[in-house]
């Protein structure tokens, strides 16, 4: 299984420079972010990938589009791998708008408001990571899957903090190894 942190977003550019939340809701990828996604997709080519699963945030969906397009796969949605709702960028886009913007993706029974109201603390993130682990344990296979996700989710699941565009390989015990990092 692979975890891919989405490419650089408009939020990442501003926050990295100022350490101040710029107030951008559900930001899009930058040109650098699209290049990071393309580099990760290139790195995944030739591997036995059969599924691309993404968080419903715009930056993850845009990253997944690039990866899935390169691999010739559809995109599935998994809200458990979303970002920790902490900054304004973690206010999501309503599902009806996501469906209009990405008509080829099935958003299934994703609630219209799928991100938590009032934020999410570390304990709530931990509970979500545990639910994800349990879902993986119940799955027959998941080694052929790329999950396009976020900084805090990766940290909560693996203990690692990684830059945008980083691709991690995980084994059954969820031990993580960086297999590709995009240079920006």
pLDDT digits (tens, 9 = 90+) for 143-177: 899 999 999 999 999 999 999 999 999 987 888 88
Q: How far is CA 86 from CA 92, 135, 143, in A?
A: 11, 24, 30
pLDDT digits (tens, 9 = 90+) for 129-142: 999 999 998 988 88
Domain of residue 172, residue span: 2-180
CATH code (residue 16):
3.40.50.1240
Rounded to whole angstroms, how far apart are CA atoms 142 and 89?
Answer: 29
pLDDT digits (tens, 9 = 90+) for 92-109: 999 999 999 999 999 999
For the cut 60, the answer to whether the pLDDT of residue 184 exceeds it is: no
Into how many domains does the chain fold?
1
Q: How far is CA 155 from CA 76, 88, 114, 151, in A?
A: 22, 19, 21, 6
DSSP states of 104-147: TS--TT--SS-SPTT---HHHHHHHHHHHHHHHHH-S--TTEEE
Q: What is residue 173's predicted lDDT score, i.e. its pLDDT?
A: 81
Question: Quick one: which of 170, 181, 166, 163 has its CA closest to 142?
Answer: 170
Rounded to whole angstroms, how far apart are CA atoms 81 and 157?
Answer: 10
pLDDT digits (tens, 9 = 90+) for 10-57: 999 999 999 999 999 999 999 999 999 999 999 999 899 999 999 999
Report yes or no on whether pTM surpasses 0.75. Answer: yes
């Amino acid at each position: 299984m692979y975890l891919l942190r989405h490419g650089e977003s408009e939020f990442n550019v501003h926050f990295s420079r100022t350490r101040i939340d710029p107030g951008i809701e559900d930001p899009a990828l930058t040109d650098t972010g699209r290049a990071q996604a393309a580099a990760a997709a290139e790195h995944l080519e030739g591997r036995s990938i059969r599924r691309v699963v993404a968080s419903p945030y715009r930056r993850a969906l845009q990253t997944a589009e690039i990866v899935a397009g390169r691999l010739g796969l559809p995109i599935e949605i998994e809200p458990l791998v979303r970002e920790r709702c902490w900054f304004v960028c973690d206010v999501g886009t309503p599902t009806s708008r996501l469906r209009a913007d990405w008509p080829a993706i099935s958003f299934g029974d994703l609630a219209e408001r799928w991100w938590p109201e009032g934020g999410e603390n570390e304990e709530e993130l931990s509970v979500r990571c545990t639910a994800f682990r349990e879902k993986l344990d119940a799955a027959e296979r998941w080694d052929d899957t790329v999950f396009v996700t976020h900084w805090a989710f990766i940290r909560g699941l693996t203990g690692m903090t990684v830059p945008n565009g980083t691709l991690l390989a995980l084994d059954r015990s969820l031990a993580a190894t960086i297999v590709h990092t995009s240079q920006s």
